Structure 1
Amino acid sequence: MTALATELTHGRSLVGPELFNRLVNFLVQEEKITRERAERVMDQALAFLHMSAHRDEGLSPSQAVDPGWHAFMLHTRDYAAWCQRQFGRFIHHNPFPAPQLYDGAQMRATVAAIEDAGFVVDHELWGTAATCNPPACCGDGGGCGGGK
């Protein structure tokens, strides 16, 4: 019997190191967060985008992860070229009304989809960490009411 090795993928592997660093630096400046947190946010945003391109149902980023998507979209040439290379089409941002955007069930479904695709999930940024119990948090990266 042969054991199957499963290696998880990081979202950051979906872009080159130079682009990843530029996006992280942008997040640090714009969001006023540490480099370590910006790297985590960008990694999760890229994994989320990968899943969004391959799933029809409404996946949604957490409130903590969404700034990573915004940072990438603001680098329009890089974002458009990456979407075309990765998926053959542009991934549009279609925001939901705020109450639906950070719904706990939707966050848990999004996290499950990302994990099922073999990506590493930073559960703290999604509000789905094992140490997270309702009502303190319910799956949106900052608690049932949102936040960072």
Structure 2
Amino acid sequence: MTTAVATTTRTGRSLVTNIDFAMLAAFCANEYGLERAVADRVVDQALALVFVMGSTGEGASMAPSQQVDPGWHTLILHTDWYANWCQEQFGYFLHHQPNSKTRTGGLMTSVVNKIRAAGFEVVDELWGTAAECNAPACCGDGPCC
């Protein structure tokens, strides 16, 4: 007899309180000129990314997509909040070490795979990894197409 195991995915949003998420998403929308619904998705993906980076210790080999980067900047611009959140989640402060020049289709796919493997929902369109993101209509960034 085979037993089916239900797998549920979680969201980056679930890692913070509703009040904190609303504060971060509103800032992201304002600061980067995004519609609020887009900012919600960007911050959600940034939280998942940073959580995976910090909890696995693989931050040096990961990078956000161009679309998710404003979400991470939103987190780190709230320095006190971000420092406390990192301490609570990982026990240390996860530094921002920009490596956007290394963004490639392969790296974005690797990052997305790590986020999914950690049980998080992924919005492929924000990572340039959606099936319809092929040259010449690439929705990714950098040399990914």
Query: Could you say whether these structures have the same fold, taking a TM-score greater than 0.5 normalized by the shorter chain as the test?
Result: yes
- Tell me by how many angstroms 1:39 deviates: 0.2
Contact 1:136–1:143, Cα closer than 8 Å, also in 2:
no
* Equivalent of residue 101 in structure 2, options 91, 99, 104: 99
Unaligned runs of 5+ in 1: none
Unaligned runs of 5+ in 2: none
Q: Which aligned runs of 4 or more in structure 1 are off by greater than 6 angstroms?
A: none
TM-score by length of 1: 0.89
TM-score by length of 2: 0.91
1:14-64 deviation per Cα after TM superposition (whole angstroms, max 9, x unaligned): 111101000000011111110100000000000000111114250110000
Q: How does 1:61-80 map to 2 (within 5 A)?
A: 61-80=64-83
- Name 1:34's counterpart in structure 2: 35
- Tell me by how many angstroms 1:132 deviates: 1.4
> One-letter code of the match for 2:113?
A
- Tell me by how many angstroms 1:136 deviates: 2.9
Following the alignment from structure 1 to structure 2, what is the Cα–Cα distance between the partners of residues 37 and 49? 18
- Name 1:142's counterpart in structure 2: 140
- Name 1:118's counterpart in structure 2: 119
- Aligned residues between the structures: 141
- Tell me by how many angstroms 1:144 deviates: 4.2
CA RMSD of aligned residues (A): 1.6
- Tell me by how many angstroms 1:135 deviates: 4.1
